[in-house]
Amino acid sequence: MEGVGGDGPSAAATALNQRRHELSKLFQYYLDKSTPHALYRWIGSGFLVFLYALRVYYLQGFYIVTYGLGIYILNLLIGFLSPLVDPELEPRDGPMLPTKGSDEFKPFIRLPEFKFWYAITKAFCVAFVMTFFSMFDVPVFWPILLCYWLVLFVLTMKRQIMHMMKYKYIPLNLGKQKYGGKRPASSASSPRAD
């Protein structure tokens, strides 16, 4: 009777926590390994989006889940396109210079692409799992939801584009900026013709 007591459930809980921690570390390891491979990550997410769309089309339902997913993605897109510090909320004469040695001047800081990708992929995974439960299949007239979402998207993007034009920022990284420098004047007009 020495083995029967309070050790059984706590040992099982400890083993379960340890296994969950190991799985969490393994998941984080592969997530970290995928960080530099943006194209492959987005291709994988595109495949997941295709599977979700195929499932919703096949079932002819879960439109309210898809609408909620669309609103969430629109929210993520606004966060991705907006600066971390909104100039309208903190009016300044111009960009602030660093005040400490650890500060760095960053004119545009936004939600990182990796976090944007991860949130979208996670959202599609959750929505895909929700399609397996009939309680989420609320009967709605989907064209109304689609029209409302399109109007919301157009109005939100119009406001965001106007904000980008007003404060002159581009939220996307278009590659390394190249400095052309001053072009030399023609040799005929130079004062020093050798």
Q: What confidence score (pLDDT) does residue 165 get?
A: 80
Average pLDDT over residues 97-116: 66
User: Which tens digit of pLDDT belongs to each residue from 179-190?
Assistant: 666 666 555 554
Claim: this prediction has a pTM higher than 0.75:
no
Average pLDDT over residues 88-114: 61
User: Is the distance from CB of 42 to CB of 117 less than 8 angstroms?
Assistant: yes
Q: How far is the C-alpha of 116 from the C-alpha of 80, rounded, in Å?
A: 7
Lowest mean pLDDT among 31-45, 115-129, 176-190: 176-190
User: Is residue 175 predicted with pLDDT exceeding 80?
Assistant: no
User: Is residue 95 predicted with pLDDT exceeding 60?
Assistant: no
Higher pLDDT residue, 138 or 11?
A: 138
Lowest mean pLDDT among 41-50, 143-152, 165-174: 165-174
User: Is residue 112 predicted with pLDDT exceeding 50?
Assistant: yes
Sole residue written with tokens 């400890």: 14
Higher pLDDT residue, 85 or 185?
A: 85
Confidence of residue 47 (pLDDT cuts 50, 70, 90): very high
Q: What confidence score (pLDDT) does residue 137 get?
A: 92
Q: What confidence score (pLDDT) does residue 68 get?
A: 95
Q: What confidence score (pLDDT) does residue 15 get?
A: 87
Q: How far is the C-alpha of 111 from the C-alpha of 173, rounded, in Å?
A: 13
Average pLDDT over residues 65-85: 88
**Residue 160: burial class (beta carbons within 10 Å; 0-12, 13-18, 19+):** middle
The chain-wide mean pLDDT, for the chain, equals: 81
Q: What confidence score (pLDDT) does residue 56 get?
A: 95
Q: Six-digit token pair at 125?
A: 């995974």
